[in-house]
Each structure stands twice: as structure tokens, then as C-alpha cells.
């Protein structure tokens, strides 16, 4: 399977120009389709999507630039890069087309290198625009949550703090939660002294059903729910009781298809009242212990259709649940608001600190090239790479992927990186001291150490430290850790459960460096092995994290190792250029779907 840099559409009425341009572009690694008819552009886009449109001025100018105007009014096509073609005599007409969404132009005939440069520049701009749009959507969600906290939830907390009627106070919590989360139903339980959950509020908007609250509402006809069974074991069958015991939120997309909990009571209610319960969000009212539970049913979209509760709904519901606790436990919500306001700055500080753990520059060794890239999916990353020169002149190389994302993964990443550096450096320092202390003469003996011992010590000590002191975090990291000896062109490595790095030689054959042990941090006492390989002239070694091969396009198709190997096989340039090509191909594959995992690459090439 051939991997293309991008898919292009050429629209030109001149077949000779089409053939000449196709020859240049296909040689550069692009997939090209052509048409002579402007009206077919929209149809081709629908059935065979392309990344960039190359349009000759003769076609563009037809019917007073009708095609360009139609592209501008299309919500998807107006984001496509459009390169205009023409000769020097067409400059005046080309200038007339510029106001209609043209992103670039080319005077033809022209050199293939210049054409390639202009196309890649436009594709890169397209990728940045798509990435910016994706981040903007994410930011808007955060901003909406912040606005709701500031404009709705915090004022509600003030109102609740002065409410004297306790029943009305609890009713307001349920009503506000239903309104903000667009839920059709809501219920509030309070924990009793005899370890039961007592219904205090029940509301179902579509049935006009109201139980509990102020005295004019009917009493709730439902019996309290036991939190523990007769033997003292937690009641795991009821979702509200489970949330009370665990103190964590449970979000269920459809209660009729949920096997973990018993929803027979809800299903029986549905049958009696011609109702259908679907999505269910159950949130603890928690301070030092869980004092009650807020439960919402059937989130609705703008059209009134029932949908699952999303992350935004969950965050809002948890904040509202904290409001209920604030009434009983001194305004805890104001503290959460301050934490939210400081979250963005804290994340920026975390990002700056994490960047400090990456090497400022990569080692430069005569006859070798080392290149690396990292593209976090979030503000902070769980991936990292490292490359540094050791006391004996050899090069330590690390690529790792922590099992989680976000701040916790970033902190764990910093721990693993620091331990690996410290332990392998300590090994070399102690070995140097040992050689000096046992020297037969006072002159300094040449520095000597075995790379496999150094590597194994560093990995084993790191693994055991994490397993001994951080086992409760339930976090681990896969990593590839190697020591390159530039003089004899050997690489000694430990692959701790990581994706096998790929060693490609000049003939195009590929060797996978399979794991020599499990991931680091799973448990203490793990056995690892160190292997050694030779790297010949023009060989290139690529290590990568699964954010590369698992990158998904809008159709949920993975980029795959097969595509990665094809890029390696067809590459004959520098290590840095290889990483640029891989990054470009991955983001072209994603095609605006959004990067969901960190992408990290490390390449080593022997030049001679």
C-alpha cells in the first residue's frame, strides 16, 4: 500500500498541462486526481475527498468566477487550500480571482521543488487552522463551564446559604441541576444514621411528577435504600448505594443495557407510567464522607432528544452536588471555584516545567544524526524522550509512554525520566570510582563499563522504586532505553513493554526490536534483558509511541504500523526529514479529527 503525502485535485481544461503536472506531483509522493469540469469539483469532494485544490485560471474565471464563489459558500470546501495556476500573461486575471478565497498561486511552468514547497506550505497552514479550530472548541467548552460556575452555580450557592427552609433549599439543588444539565428527571437522597439512603426530592418534568420538598408536595412513596446488606457488605447492586460507598460519580448511557447494577425498580416505574429511563448520572454529595446522592435522568439535546450525559454535564452536576454539601459544610464551592480559575495558569506552569525535562539540544556525534519530535495531545504530556552524553562519551537514548494522560501522567513522566538519568549516571560514576580505586598505578585508567549492566541497573532500580513507593498510583510506563556506542556502531538496549522500534537498512529490510521485559512500574522484582545490535552505514532506527500508529481519522481508522513502515521504506533523507514526513502524514490522516494521544518520535541514523 502506497502512503501519499496528501490527495490533490487538479482542475484544468488542458490535458497536456494536466499530464505534465501529474507527473511532477506523483513523483513527489502526492495522490492526484483530475477533472476538466468546474461543476464536478463538489461531486468529487463528496465521493473522493482531497486535501488541496489546484485550479487553472481558465476554469476559475468561468462565469464570473462562479466556482470560487460556490466554494466560498460551502461550509467545508471554504476551508480547503486553493492554488491558482497560470502563465505570466495571466497575472491580471489571477489578481481578479484573489478576493474569492485563493490561498496561493503558481506561475507555470515551474520547478517541481518549488511546486512541492508551495503545496506543503498550504497543507501546513490548513493543518494549523484545523488544529486551532479544534482547540477553540475545547476552550469554548471550558469557558462555558467557567461561565456557568461564575454566573449560575456560585450565585446559587449564595442564595442557598441564606435559605432558611431546608426542604426548599434541597429542591433548588435538584431543579438547578436538571436545568443546567437539561435533564428530564432528578432525585436527591440523604444518608441516614442507620446507613440508608432516604429519598427527599423526586422530579420528572415530562410526567409533571413532583415528590418531596416543601410541605405542599406529596410525600415520597419509595422506601429507603440500604447502603449495606445484612452481612455488612456494601450494596453494590444499587447504583446510588454504590456511589455512596465509593464516593465517585457513575455515568450510564442506558440503564436498560447496564449489567453492573440492578435497575429493576426504575424499569418497573417506567412500565407503570409509560416512561422510558435512558441516561443516568449519579453524583455523590461528598465532603469528608458521602452525605447523600444527586441523581439525574435523561439528558436532552437542543431538539429534545435524549442523549447520554457528557463530561460537561458531569462536571456541572458534581459542582451542584458540592453546593448541597456547602449548605451543610461551610461553602466548599467557593474553594472549587478558585481552583477552577487557577487551573489554566497551573496547567501552563506544568507545561513549562515539563518542557524543562526535555533536552534543550540533542547530542551531536560525528557520523551520526539524532532527531526527536513530541506533540502533546493535551497541555501536558505523558510521553517523553531523552538523549544525553554519558561520562564515557556514549549516548543514552530514551523514549517512553506513561499509561495515562494529563497532569498525573506528566508527573509520573518526570519521575521516570529523573530516575533513569540518575541511576545510569550513578552507575557510571561508581564504576569510575571502582576502577580508580583498584588501579595498579596512580595514573588514571581508561574509563570502562558494560552498557548492558548500566542499562539493566537503571531500569531495574527505576522499576523497583516505583513499585515500592508508588504502587498505589496504579501507573506504569512503557519505555525504550538504549546506549549508543558511536565508535563501534553498536546499540545496547532494554525494551520495557514498548512498541518495537524499527531498524531499517539501506536495502529496505526492517528489523523490529521486540520487548525484552514488561512495562516499568507494574510490580517489583521484574526480570529484564539487555540486547545489543549493530547499526550499519545508512541504517536508521525509529522509536515511536502508540500515538503515531493509533492516530484515528474521522472514520476511526488507525494510521497503523504498516503505513509507518512504508514511509520508512521510501525515505532516503535525514533523520529530521523522516520525522517531519511522519508527522505530516499522521496529521493528514487525522484530517481534522483531533489528536487524542501524544505523538513522540526518536530517530537515529548512521551517516557513514
Q: Place 512 in a pLDDT band, splitting at 50, 70 and 90.
A: very high
Please state, as a whole number, how many other Cβ atoms lie within 10 Å of the Cβ of residue 359. Answer: 14
Q: Does position 269 have pLDDT exceeding 50, yes or no?
A: yes
Say which range, 150-159, 379-388, 479-488, 532-541, has the weakest mean pLDDT: 150-159
Q: Do residues 288 and 418 share a domain?
A: no
Say which range, 205-209, 257-261, 437-441, has the weakest mean pLDDT: 437-441
Q: Do residues 392 and 471 share a domain?
A: yes
Q: Does position 408 have pLDDT exceeding 80, yes or no?
A: no
CATH of the domain at 243: 3.30.450.40
Say which range, 33-37, 231-235, 274-278, has the weakest mean pLDDT: 33-37
Q: Place 264 in a pLDDT band, splitting at 50, 70 and 90.
A: very high
Residue 352 lies in a domain: no
Q: Do residues 117 and 177 share a domain?
A: no
Distance CA 208, CA 165 (A): 23
Q: Does position 540 have pLDDT exceeding 90, yes or no?
A: yes
Where does a domain end: 109, 132, 155? 132
β partners of residue 369: 605
Residue 325 lies in a domain: yes
Q: Do residues 127 and 248 share a domain?
A: no
Q: Does position 332 have pLDDT exceeding 50, yes or no?
A: no
Q: What is the pLDDT of residue 262?
A: 93
Q: Do residues 179 and 283 share a domain?
A: yes
Please state, as a whole number, how many other Cβ atoms lie within 10 Å of the Cβ of residue 275. Answer: 18
Q: Do residues 288 and 379 share a domain?
A: no
Please state, as a whole number, how many other Cβ atoms lie within 10 Å of the Cβ of residue 332. Answer: 17
* 175-to-62, 151, 201, 299 alpha-carbon distances in Å: 60, 16, 10, 14
Q: Do residues 205 and 99 share a domain?
A: no
Structure-derived torsion over alpha carbons of residues 22, 23, 26, 30, reported in degrees to the nearest 10: -30
Q: Do residues 91 and 123 share a domain?
A: yes
Residue 566 lies in a domain: yes
CATH of the domain at 515: 3.60.40.10
Q: What is the pLDDT of residue 331?
A: 37
Q: Do residues 223 and 368 share a domain?
A: no
Distance CA 112, CA 27 (A): 9
Count the helix, strand and coil residues of the chain and give each as a percent rounded to the nearest 5: 45, 25, 35
Distance CA 23, CA 50 (A): 18
CATH of the domain at 91: 3.40.50.2300
Distance CA 593, CA 493 (A): 35
Residue that wins the pLDDT comparison between 279 and 358: 279
Residue 1 lies in a domain: no
| Contact (CB, 8 A) for 511 and 503 | yes
Largest CA distance in the chain: 99
Q: Do residues 319 and 366 share a domain?
A: no
Q: What is the pLDDT of residue 165?
A: 66
Place of cell 520495557: 496
Distance CA 452, CA 449 (A): 9
Place of cell 493535551: 378
Q: Summarize pLDDT for 94-122 with one digit per residue, the tens.
A: 888 888 888 888 888 888 888 889 888 98
| Contact (CB, 8 A) for 600 and 399 | yes
Where does a domain end: 114, 132, 150? 132
Q: Does position 226 have pLDDT exceeding 60, yes or no?
A: yes
Q: Does position 573 have pLDDT exceeding 80, yes or no?
A: yes
Q: What is the pLDDT of residue 480?
A: 96
Residue 349 lies in a domain: no
Domain that holds residue 300: 163-342
Q: Do residues 364 and 502 share a domain?
A: yes
Half-sphere exposure of 265 (CA within 13 A, CB side): 11
DSSP code, position 198: E
Q: What is the pLDDT of residue 333?
A: 38
Q: Does position 336 have pLDDT exceeding 60, yes or no?
A: no
Q: What is the mean pLDDT of residues 484-509?
A: 91
Which of 206-215, 315-324, 457-466, 468-477 has the largest mean confidence?
457-466
Q: What is the pLDDT of residue 159?
A: 60
Q: What is the pLDDT of residue 317?
A: 86
Q: What is the mean pLDDT of residues 186-196?
A: 91
Q: Does position 603 have pLDDT exceeding 90, yes or no?
A: yes
Q: Place 131 in a pLDDT band, splitting at 50, 70 and 90.
A: confident
Write the DSSP assignment of 226-281 as a string of letters: ESB-TTS-B--SSHHHHHHHH---EEES-GGG--SS--HHHHHHHHHHT-----EE
Q: Place 523 in a pLDDT band, splitting at 50, 70 and 90.
A: confident
Distance CA 510, CA 259 (A): 46
pLDDT above 70 covers what percent of the chain? 84
Q: Do residues 23 and 127 share a domain?
A: yes
Q: Does position 602 have pLDDT exceeding 90, yes or no?
A: yes
Residue 101 lies in a domain: yes
Residue 141 lies in a domain: no
Q: What is the pLDDT of residue 444?
A: 38
Say which range, 59-68, 180-189, 321-330, 373-382, has the weakest mean pLDDT: 321-330
The runs of H, that is alpha helices, within 442-506 are: 451-469
The domain total for the chain is 3
> Sign of dihedral through CA atoms 456, 457, 462, 467?
positive
Where does a domain end: 342, 374, 408? 342
Residue 313 lies in a domain: yes
Amino acid at each position: 500500500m502506497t502512503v501519499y503525502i496528501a490527495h490533490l485535485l487538479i482542475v484544468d481544461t488542458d490535458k497536456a498541462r494536466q499530464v505534465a503536472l501529474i507527473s511532477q506531483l506523483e513523483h513527489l509522493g502526492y495522490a492526484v486526481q483530475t477533472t476538466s469540469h468546474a461543476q464536478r469539483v463538489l461531486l468529487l469532494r463528496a465521493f473522493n475527498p482531497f486535501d488541496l485544490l489546484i485550479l487553472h485560471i481558465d476554469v476559475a474565471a468561468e462565469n464570473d468566477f462562479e466556482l470560487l464563489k460556490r466554494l466560498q459558500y460551502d461550509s467545508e470546501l471554504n476551508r480547503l487550500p486553493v492554488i491558482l495556476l497560470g502563465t505570466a500573461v495571466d497575472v491580471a486575471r489571477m489578481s481578479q480571482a484573489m478576493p474569492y478565497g485563493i490561498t496561493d498561486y503558481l506561475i507555470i511552468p515551474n520547478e517541481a521543488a518549488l511546486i512541492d514547497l508551495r503545496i506543503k506550505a498550504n497543507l501546513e497552514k490548513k493543518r494549523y487552522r484545523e488544529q486551532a479550530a479544534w482547540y477553540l472548541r475545547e476552550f469554548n467548552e471550558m469557558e462555558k463551564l467557567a461561565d456557568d460556575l461564575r454566573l449560575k452555580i456560585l450565585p446559587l450557592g449564595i442564595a442557598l446559604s441564606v435559605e432558611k427552609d431546608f426542604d426548599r433549599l434541597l429542591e433548588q439543588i435538584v431543579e438547578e441541576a436538571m436545568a443546567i444539565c437539561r435533564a428530564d428527571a432528578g432525585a436527591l437522597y440523604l444518608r441516614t444514621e442507620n446507613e440508608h439512603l432516604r429519598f427527599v426530592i423526586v422530579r420528572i418534568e415530562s410526567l409533571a411528577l413532583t415528590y418531596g420538598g416543601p410541605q405542599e408536595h406529596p410525600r415520597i412513596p419509595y422506601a429507603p435504600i440500604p447502603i449495606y446488606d445484612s452481612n455488612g457488605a456494601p450494596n453494590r447492586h444499587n447504583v446510588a448505594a454504590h456511589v455512596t460507598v465509593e464516593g465517585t460519580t457513575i455515568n450510564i448511557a442506558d440503564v436498560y443495557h447496564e449489567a453492573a447494577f440492578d435497575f429493576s425498580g426504575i424499569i418497573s416505574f417506567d412500565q407503570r407510567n409509560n416512561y422510558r429511563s435512558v441516561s443516568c448520572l449519579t453524583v455523590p454529595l461528598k465532603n469528608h464522607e458521602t452525605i447523600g446522592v444527586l441523581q439525574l435522568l435523561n439528558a436532552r439535546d437542543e431538539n429534545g432528544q435524549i442523549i447520554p450525559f457528557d463530561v460537561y454535564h458531569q462536571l456541572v452536576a458534581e459542582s451542584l452536588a458540592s453546593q448541597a454539601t456547602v449548605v451543610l459544610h461551610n461553602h466548599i464551592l467557593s474553594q472549587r471555584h478558585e481552583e477552577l480559575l487557577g487551573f489554566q495558569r497551573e496547567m501552563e506552569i506544568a507545561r513549562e516545567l515539563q518542557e524543562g525535562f526535555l533536552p534543550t539540544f540533542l547530542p551531536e556525534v560525528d557520523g551520526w544524526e539524532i532527531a526527536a519530535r513530541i506533540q502533546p495531545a493535551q497541555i501536558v504530556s505523558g510521553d517523553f524522550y531523552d538523549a544525553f552524553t554519558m561520562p564515557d562519551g556514549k549516548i543514552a537514548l530514551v523514549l517512553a509512554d506513561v499509561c495515562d494522560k494529563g497532569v498525573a501522567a506528566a508527573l509520573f513522566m518526570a519521575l521516570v525520566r529523573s530516575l533513569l538519568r540518575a541511576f545510569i549516571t550513578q552507575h557510571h560514576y561508581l564504576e569510575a570510582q571502582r576502577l580508580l580505586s583498584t588501579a595498579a598505578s596512580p595514573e588514571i585508567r581508561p574509563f570502562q563499563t558494560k552498557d548492558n549492566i548500566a542499562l539493566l541497573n537503571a531500569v531495574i532500580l527505576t522499576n523497583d522504586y516505583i513499585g515500592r513507593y508508588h504502587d498505589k498510583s496504579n501507573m506504569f510506563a512503557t519505555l525504550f532505553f538504549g546506549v549508543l556506542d558511536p565508535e563501534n556502531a553498536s546499540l545496547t538496549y532494554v525494551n520495557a513493554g514498548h512498541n518495537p522500534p524499527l531498524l531499517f537498512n539501506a536495502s529496505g529490510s526492517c528489523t523490529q526490536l521486540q520487548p525484552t521485559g514488561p512495562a516499568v512500574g507494574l510490580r517489583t522484582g521484574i526480570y529484564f534483558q539487555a540486547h545489543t545490535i549493530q547499526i550499519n552505514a545508512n541504517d536508521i532506527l525509529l522509536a515511536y509511541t502508540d500515538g503515531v500508529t493509533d492516530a484515528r481519522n474521522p472514520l476511526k481508522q488507525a494510521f497503523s504500523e504498516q503505513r509507518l513502515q512504508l514511509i520508512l521504506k521510501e525515505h532516503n533523507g535525514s533523520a529530521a526529514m523522516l520525522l517531519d514526513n511522519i508527522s505530516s502524514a499522521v496529521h493528514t490522516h487525522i484530517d481534522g479529527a483531533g489528536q487524542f494521544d501524544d505523538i513522540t518520535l526518536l530517530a537515529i541514523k548512521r551517516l557513514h
